[in-house]
Structure 1
């Protein structure tokens, strides 16, 4: 295997990781920002207030995007295993 092939495969894996984690992270970030703005305007400094909405947002994102994420992961894995003979030689 050439170095270019390994680097290309690594780039594909990194792009897949970014693509799969982006919806969950962005939704958690948006909810965290809204909670922070709420805390700043009301001057409520309760630490647990920040965690519960973010956890719920991540759970909702996983429920909503989970099938899409799994489909992308299975497609990538199928592609890798389908071309395994090409990778070994």
Structure 2
């Protein structure tokens, strides 16, 4: 395996990590922003108000995004295994 192949696999791995983790991070960011705005407008500084909705939203998002995440990871794994077989 040459340096170009290693760089290509690394680039694909980073892209897969962004595709898998990105949607959940964006959802957490949006929920956190909305809750922070609500807290600033009402001057309620309750820690559980920011924690619980974000956890619930992430749980629901991960349940909904699980098939997409599994598809992306399995496609990457199959591609990686094909490259390993091609080396031999």
Kindly state the Cα deviation for residue 83 of structure 1 after the two structures are TM-superposed: 2.8
Partner of 1:12: 12
Asked which structure has the greater RCO (Cα within 8 Å, sep 6+), the reply is 2
2: CA distance, partners of 1:57 / 1:25: 11
2: CA distance, partners of 1:18 / 1:25: 10
- Structure 1 unaligned spans of 5+: none
Runs (4+) of structure 1 exceeding 3 A deviation are: none
- Structure 2 unaligned spans of 5+: none
Question: TM-score, structure 1 length as denominator?
Answer: 0.92
1: CA distance, partners of 2:7 / 2:79: 17
Task: Say how many residue pairs are matched.
Answer: 88
Partner of 1:57: 57
